[in-house]
Structure 1
């Protein structure tokens, strides 16, 4: 039976925003967000990223996408997305993959509505439409600049200004996704052909990133738009100071240092161990108290390391854990490179502002008073949600327009 395949073109060259497709929004690289959205749709069986860039390919593969190498002549500023899609379809055909429906997703749209995407696939798969695209409803009065810069009305009569409720809406493409019959796309060599439908998406998801300002806007609203997701990971890595402690230290008259830790955190670590989820304490400091706490908790510890990111990579490789399947909990700027590596960058609520902006999740409880337990509870809840049996409901059709 033919497959429904999501294809995500993501070239390395970007003039407006350098390395745009691996920039992070809500703590996750843009290309990874798009891969994850496609994977979340039950209507999509395979996710493919076509790219000319090794870094983009590495991130996409880490998040579970198949990779198609995009030739340089199809990755320049003048190359169309259609050319990349056609090349990817040829590559997949060479692998023996029978593609019936193509879902063309763009990494520049960080907030893809998975339900609308799924409905669009069903609409095409059922042959009620040949091509469906994501769009937002608008009642805006549109204008264009004519000769000499004079304004001219586009979609309305200058002498008649009806109320919103008395007008029919128009629809604006969001660029997030286009779903097409593969055979029809090959014949037309364009994303719009045959009977065309609209998959209406919420306006809050409609941002498309082409400028630095749009990237900053997406980062600012990510916590408001993203659906809360269970933290489903295979390992947990934490900093020590400011995470297992409140970032203060007591020094006696002999220069001996001590810290205060939470028994609740200890129970959280114990629960993670019982669930078979490894935990590593990773610290730049060389302090006996760190080693003592790790021994007490029965977890791995690496300390006195200058390059925490390299140490994290080595530990993950040694344990066979993908970086995208790790939650890293930090609080200060020396955690930023580790936060940029993992799939779940986590921050304590009193973390440095740069850490807060890099985090996918900000915990409710601060370091030293239950932050580790807070994370452990969320990870265990994510593990339970991932193992729960799936339930399905009949798909609903998006709003259609011909």
Structure 2
């Protein structure tokens, strides 16, 4: 079926993003994989092309446009070239709502120009060694002392953890208050007591800087509290998680589509027993099944994008999109590795790298099990 999600301006923007990827990313990504990090200057170059902060008001250097289709274009083009090291999706899709919607005028003036230009790279500190899906179980504390909070604790698995200049840290400002004792504080690069641990060695996404963060008596100004009121952090997180999960679903479908296209081409050219392996019934039937499932997923995700733009996307909608598409992504890529045979296990073939990069998709942003729990609770049992 013809895809009708985008307008002409999105198509023109896609051309810009595609050219950027070909010029600034593709020739260097293999080296970034070895380095374990993407250079900061790439962020600035992307910022110069208006690839960040679509929803940032124009007076702060953004486009002032709330249209997730632009975010979708960037994610899809990153996935198309296998540039899994770029943390642009987290910056645009996950962090923007916190930085735009929860900041006051003074905070906007301090942070948004750099956010939109790529000079200030962002991250969010939720996960801790002992708290992943259970956000209410976090132990990082923020104790008010005059016009500062004193922050102590640890975060792990933090995307953009090494490069980040601003980290939205989930803290307990009142450990006795449960969900109402959670607050979001922005910790800035260079604050005394804020240190970064290892750039973690992962199964895939090797160019993505994923780090441990440590906070030892870090004095964070009260002026860095998001939302203007203590105790709202848990609800702020819950409000923004559907967009995060939709972003992951967008990436999942794009990855499945890309690898499927590559595999169809491989099956067309690879011969065995004197003919193209695409002529074997098993190959055709498997590719038919995968193509059907991916297209169905694409249309559901596109509908979710429209719902988000209309402010109608629910937590349940996003949970369905997130778990189904990421499980499908892993299924499709695994089957495509099998169709490649031994070559599918060689990292010189994109399908092998995609296989490694995809595994975490069913884990971060809320595991498949948590997504099903969200959906199950909606039945009112």
Instruction: Give TM-score, length-normalised by structure 1.
Output: 0.29
Instruction: Give TM-score, length-normalised by structure 2.
Output: 0.30
Structure having the larger proportion of residues in helix: 2
